[in-house]
């Protein structure tokens, strides 16, 4: 076994040694949906699902039906669902709240609950007093002793229920210590918080009634690490290990670790993000890595594969400008680093596969570190949302075959940018998009947009 020397900061992170056979990485959203349903059906003791949202559509109904079926078959099964408080109540973008009634998914939760003999609580978790300034972006379902980690929420496109899919990462890790750590964290900080309220019951408090509870809850989360039990530091691990990380707000442990991973790279870094809008700290570390000769590969969705993209022939909405903002960012970055692109030190891949969309996040650093996360590596993730990640440290290269297979599956639908001019500029955009972006730039609102979207 070869020895490795992690950076000083990374070396002190706690970890759990894990068997390679405990890790299964699936390649597609449809396989993920099938495996998730199988895990639910086979559950013996506990099912804790944590997602930005559980949508009122065919896929959401299928998952909720499966949960009720599992509860009916095993009444003692401990099932709980956590979703973002604000996202669950506002419905889809543009959907209006009905007078006297709750809109969105929460109304559906209540209707479904009223039709059942068994109770499955669905909790709304408010990370901030307004959705714009912070949401539940925590990932990781726990079913018995398996952690199911993906950036996917639960709806048709994330689970490829119909004709389109949103590509993500799909990791299944069977490890009792890791599962207990993540589940106990949800029990301690979510179930024990007055700000976290049931959405499946008819009497749901208004956000304004729990503002002080939400603020106190957010402050508590800022110092709420995962507890891994009997663990060693990464530098003491002799084989494949996993570290769970969680953070919210500026300068949290997850943000620091992301920067430290890039700083620790000696040969190669691969970065996946759906929204090219790096925080300044990440940009600095990527620039430093390129300067010291590290090969950097960035895999990002083509603007038409962005989940906010609206084709020009459809009705214009302001939110549809976001993919163009991200492309403008990418073009500026590529122009700055054109010499690195020419030398091969920097590779930029654009993902596009039909009308499907791209939602992958993560880091691969040398042959040593693999990070699976829901963190978009943008200012919003670094400052506003509750985020987490799983960091795999692999001193013996045990994970490399699965890691290469996952990356190969991602790259098969990408094209490499050879010159920054291959990316469109403001002049090329649809008239209404160009008009709005020009207006935002004149009043400097584009800077605010980069920080919160």
Cα three-residue angle 406-407-410, rounded to 5 degrees: 95
DSSP three-state, residue 147: strand
Q: Do 307 and 351 form a contact (C-beta atoms < 8 A)? A: no
The residues, any chain, with a CB within 8 Å of residue 314's CB and separated by 6 or more, are none
| Catalytically annotated residues | 137, 168, 359, 387
Comparing C-alpha atoms, which of 197, 205, 199, 206 is closest to residue 106?
199
First to last CA, the chain: 44
Comparing C-alpha atoms, which of 406, 372, 370 is closest to residue 389?
372
Q: Do 117 and 75 form a contact (C-beta atoms < 8 A)? A: no
Compute CA distances 67 → 17, 42, 91, 432, whole Å.
31, 11, 22, 44
For residue 316, how many other CB atoms are within 10 A of its CB?
15
Which phi and psi (to 5°) does residue 80 adopt? -145, 145
CA distance 327 to 129: 30
CA distance 88 to 107: 9
DSSP three-state, residue 111: helix
Q: What is the DSSP string of 368-431?
A: TEEEEES--SSHHHHHTSBEEEEEEE-TT-TTHHHHHHHHHHHHTTEEE-SSGGGS--GGGS-H
CA distance 294 to 53: 38
């Amino acid at each position: 076994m070869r020895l490795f020397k992690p950076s000083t900061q990374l070396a002190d992170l706690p970890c759990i040694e894990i068997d390679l056979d405990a890790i299964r990485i699936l390649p597609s959203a449809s396989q993920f949906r099938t495996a998730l349903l199988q895990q639910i059906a086979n559950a013996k003791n506990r099912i804790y699902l944590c997602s930005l949202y559980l949508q009122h559509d065919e896929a959401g109904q299928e998952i909720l039906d499966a949960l009720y079926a599992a509860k009916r078959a095993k009444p003692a099964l401990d099932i709980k669902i956590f979703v973002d408080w604000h996202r669950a109540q506002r419905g889809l973008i543009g959907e209006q709240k009905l007078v006297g009634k709750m809109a969105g998914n929460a109304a559906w939760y209540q209707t479904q609950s009223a039709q059942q003999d068994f109770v499955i609580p669905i909790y709304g978790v408010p990370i901030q007093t307004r959705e714009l300034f912070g949401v539940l972006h925590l990932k990781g379902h726990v079913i018995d002793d398996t952690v199911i980690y993906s950036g996917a929420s639960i709806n048709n496109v994330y689970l490829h229920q119909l004709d389109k899919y949103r590509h993500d990462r799909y990791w299944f890790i069977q490890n009792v210590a890791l599962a207990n750590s993540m589940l106990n964290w949800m029990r301690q900080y979510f179930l024990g918080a007055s700000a976290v309220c049931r959405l499946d019951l008819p009497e749901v408090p208004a956000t304004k009634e729990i503002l002080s509870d939400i603020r106190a809850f957010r402050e508590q989360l800022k110092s709420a690490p995962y507890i891994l039990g009997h663990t060693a530091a990464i530098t003491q691990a002799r084989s494949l290990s996993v570290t769970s990380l969680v953070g919210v707000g500026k300068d949290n442990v997850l943000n620091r670790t992301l920067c430290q991973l890039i700083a620790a790279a000696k040969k190669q870094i691969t970065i996946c993000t759906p929204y090219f809008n790096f925080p300044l700290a990440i940009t600095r570390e990527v620039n430093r890595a390129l300067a010291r000769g590290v090969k950097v590969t960035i895999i990002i969705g083509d603007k038409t594969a962005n989940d906010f993209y609206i084709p020009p022939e459809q009705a214009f909405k302001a939110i549809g400008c976001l993919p163009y903002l991200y492309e403008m960012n990418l073009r500026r970055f590529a122009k700055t680093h054109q010499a690195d692109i020419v030398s091969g030190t920097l590779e930029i891949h654009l993902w596009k596969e039909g009308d499907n969309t791209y939602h992958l996040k993560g880091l691969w650093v040398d042959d040593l570190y693999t990070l699976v996360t829901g963190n978009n590596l943008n200012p919003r993730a670094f400052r506003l949302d509750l985020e987490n990640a799983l960091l795999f440290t692999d001193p013996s290269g045990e994970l490399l075959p699965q890691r290469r297979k996952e990356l190969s599956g991602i790259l098969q639908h990408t094209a490499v940018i050879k010159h920054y001019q291959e990316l469109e500029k403001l002049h090329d955009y649809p008239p209404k998009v160009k008009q709005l972006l020009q207006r935002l730039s004149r009043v400097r609102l584009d800077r605010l947009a980069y920080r919160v979207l």
